[in-house]
Structure 1
Amino acid sequence: MVKKIIKLFLRLAIAAGFLSAVADRFGWWPADVSAWGNWNSFLEYTEIINPWIPISLIPTVAIVATVAEVVFALCLLLGFKTEFFAKLSGILLMLFALSMTFSTGVKGVFDYSVFSAAAAAFALSLLKEKYLEIDTLLHKKTD
């Protein structure tokens, strides 16, 4: 049972992290706790951590990252294809971590625990036993 609770905690924590970041870039967090606070500030940050990407593509990168975070978070919350979306989450978080490291240095990556979040996502992808996941219901319907 402990393993099931750990898996649920990982799913919820990773999803909450993604959704919190998305809420921040849309200004849904109070200004005193916000990292970006609005979409334009997020675009500026996206440009800072991706200096090798042409400026004309920065809005596209920001939109793709935001959509990915929302989709991955929802799939993790629901327990839909958990192992697959956990791996994708780990990859996305590693991309964030590497972009941050090579553009602004490693301190921010450690301060924001991006490597830890990526490791958690990859660990989640290894936990195969289902617990409170929509996949359990979908699998039973196909049997």
Structure 2
Amino acid sequence: MDKSAKFAQLFLRLALGFSFLSAVADRFGMWGAQGEPSVAWGNWSSFLDYTYLLVPYMSRALSDIAGTVATVAEVLFGILLIIGFKTRLAALGSALLLVVFALSMFVFLGAKAPFDYSVFTAAAGAFLLAAVAKYEWSVDQSIGK
């Protein structure tokens, strides 16, 4: 693998991983309060309200569970991608999670939303990362996977 490809896979791992963790941090008010510039949710309750917008076919209780499961998955995938452990599995899980999110946005918020927030692009990047043969600068590489 040439240097640019090594850097590209590392950059993609970090970009996806930190993006997941940043979104989770927003849900807990770590980027600021709801309504402040560049804050999507600002608190857990607002995030769960948004989740319900994306899955209106579920009851509110199931929607809240889905939001919690998605958050746990994002934390797990984010950490795994950043450290490069079980990278292929984390990238594939990330891609599938992002596709579900993008399709829900597309159907329930309109076609523009997932494109404006580059959700399909992130999903494509995650699928591409899952196809990489070797993960440089990773725990996977260190343990010989």
- TM-score after normalising by structure 2: 0.93
**Corresponding residue for residue 37 of structure 1:** 42
- Residues 25-81 of structure 1, C-alpha deviation per residue, up to 9 Å, x if partnerless? 100113221011110100100000111111121221111000000000000011001
After TM superposition, the runs of 4+ consecutive aligned structure 1 residues lying more than 4 A away are: none
Using the aligned pairs only, state the percent identity: 49
Query: Deviation at 1:128?
Result: 1.3
Matched positions, count? 140
Computed over aligned residues only, the root mean square deviation of the Cα atoms, in angstroms, reads: 1.0
Q: In the alignment, residue 39 of structure 1 is paired with which amino acid?
A: W
C-alpha deviations, 1:94-124, integer Å up to 9, x for none?
A: 0000111111111110110000000000011
Q: Secondary structure at the match of 1:85?
A: helix
Q: Could you tell me which runs of 5 or more consecutive residues in structure 1 were left unpaired when the two chains were aligned.
A: none
**Does the 8 A contact of 2:10 with 2:135 survive in 1?**
no
- Alignment equivalent of 1:128, drawn from 112, 118, 133: 133
Q: Does residue 8 of structure 2 align to residue 6 of structure 1? A: yes
Give the CA deviation at 1:130. 2.4
Which whole-Å CA distance do the structure 1 matches of 2:26 and 2:135 have between them? 31
Tell me the amino acid that sits aligned with residue 12 of structure 1: L
- Structure 2 alignment gaps of length 5 or more: none
Give the secondary-structure state (helix, strand or coil) at the position aligned to 2:144. helix
* Distance (Å, rounded) in 2 between the aligned partners of 1:22 and 1:52: 24
1:33 match: secondary structure: coil
Alignment of 1:80-99 (within 5 A): 80-99=85-104
**Is contact 1:83-1:128 (8 Å) kept?**
no
Q: Which residue of 1 aligns with 2:123?
A: 118
Decide whether the 8 Å contact of 1:78 with 1:133 is kept in 2. yes
